[in-house]
Structure 1
Amino acid sequence: MRPPLDDTALDTVFREAHTHYGFRPEPVDEATLRRLYDLLKWGPTSMNCQPARYVFVMSEEGKSRLLPALSEANRDKAHDAPVTVIVAVDTRFYEHMPKVFPSSPNARERFANSPDKASDTAWRNATLQGGYLIVAARMLGLDVGPMSGFDNALVDKEFFPDGRYKSNFLANLGVGDPASLRPRGARLAFEEVAEVV
């Protein structure tokens, strides 16, 4: 067993990390987003299927396309964040299976011929990859504000008009404004959520 990470790392990623509702006007460059992806891509997915897709919305033009789909409470958050990433699901992720999971030559057909299995696999694993994105962003020094509160159909129409990708959730990225933080909500105890059998 490897030694655990030190307390600074654990605090950064989990114990002292908060959802940020406001961000300082410090830009996030494309090189940082590439580093973010190059880190999160190593998180495991079933059969290495990697169904998440990402749109990093940074420009004013991009924000103008995204903001109308957001709830009123989320528009200012996304507008002010240097980056809002749309975490989406590739509904035909299995087309990449020969490349990402070559040890199973019939993996593509297994998913292509079983739409329910493909959908369950895509949504489960893309959501997992969205979690990796949050953790990786924090490890790179970014603050994160994940969001629901948007009209998926409008986002999909605007950003994924061919229907292949489906929006899952959004996350604002940048340097958080400490004044935007809210008191941390309670977490359930081990005994409330887990059992050892």
Structure 2
Amino acid sequence: MTSTASLADLLHLPPDVQNLLFREARTANSFADEPVGEEQIQAIYDLVKWAPTSMNTQPLRALVVRTEEGKQRLLPHMSEGNRAKTASAPVTVVLAADTDFHEKLPRTFPHKPGAKDLFSGDESARERVARLNALLQVGYFIVGVRAAGLAAGPMTGFDAAGIDREFFADRTWKSLVVVNIGKPGENPWFDRLPRLDYDEVTDTV
């Protein structure tokens, strides 16, 4: 079995950047009292928007919750174990899939003028494509938060239908993941859990 250090040398990114994005990055469960600016969130999105999706669909939408009023609307929909950490985070972002993503395809996928029509008449297919590609973008977004030197606390423990009613009643957005963002606070990490090894998850033909 090749060592982790040897494998790291095979990658283009320097080991310290690899560690920042993956090996040493952790899910934060508490946050310091240090603000996260709107421009930081914008910079994260401006980076991760270039990552690939199917047909450049880009269905990800983001509700940035930073005001006390916004937090008070969000917290009742979080599971009990996620409320305190969400209350302490400087910024919480609700990441959602826009099921009407196809309306923007003429601009984002211009070399195939009929792309929008592929999804116009099939709502279930459109929702499947929106969810799959938005979840890809969720992963990119989390790595983008780490690239900004911030900690991400992604959560799926919440009442999605409740959040959708509270915030997206007049939109075609469906919440997927809620992410707390900030500098890590006191005792922010749980114990590091194991990961499956390469030989456990791959096959070669």
Q: Which of the five TM-score ranges fits, normalised by the shorter chain?
A: over 0.9
Aligned to 2:139: 131
| Distance in 2, Cα, partners of 1:140 & 1:34 | 11
User: Which residue does the alignment assign to 1:41?
Assistant: 49
| Equivalent residue in structure 1 for 2:15, among 7, 22, 38 | 7
Alignment of 1:27 with 2:35, yes or no, is yes
User: For residue 125 of structure 2, what is the aligned residue in structure 1?
Assistant: 117
After TM superposition, the runs of 4+ consecutive aligned structure 1 residues lying more than 6 A away are none
82, 87, 94: which one pairs with 1:86?
94
Give the Å deviation of 1:163: 4.6
Partners of 2:90 and 2:77 lie apart in 1 by 18
C-alpha distance in structure 1 between counterparts of 2:99 and 2:183, whole Å: 32
Superposition deviation, residue 194 in structure 1 = 1.3
Q: For residues 106-140 of structure 1, give each alpha carbon's deviation from its aligned partner in whole angstroms, at most 9, with x where no partner exists.
A: 11111112223211110000001011110011011
3-state DSSP of counterpart to 1:107? coil
1:60 aligns with 2:68: yes
Tell me which of 22, 26, 33 is aligned to 1:18.
Answer: 26
Per-residue CA deviations over 1:76-120 (Å, capped at 9, x if unaligned) read 010000111000010100000000001111111111122232111
Select the residue among 183, 197, 204 that pairs with 1:196: 204
> Could you tell me whether the CA contact under 8 Å between 2:32 and 2:186 is conserved in 1?
no
**Distance in 1, Cα, partners of 2:128 & 2:117:** 16
Q: How does 1:100-179 map to 2 (within 5 A)?
A: 100-177=108-185, 179=187
Query: Offset of 1:8 from its aligned partner?
Result: 0.6
Moved more, 174-183 or 49-58: 174-183
- TM-score (structure 1 length as normaliser): 0.96
Extract unaligned runs of 5+ from structure 1.
Answer: none
Give the share of equivalent positions with the same residue, in percent: 45
Deviation at 1:178, TM superposition (A): 5.2
Amino acid at match of 1:85: V
Quote the RMSD (CA, aligned, Å): 1.3
Q: CA deviation at 1:40?
A: 1.1
- In 2, the alpha carbon distance for the partners of 1:141 and 1:73 equals 25
Match of 2:8 in 1: none
1:95 aligns with 2:107: no
**How many angstroms apart in 1 are the aligned matches of 2:81 and 2:186?**
19
Unaligned runs of 5+ in 2: 1-10
Output the TM-score relative to the length of structure 2: 0.93
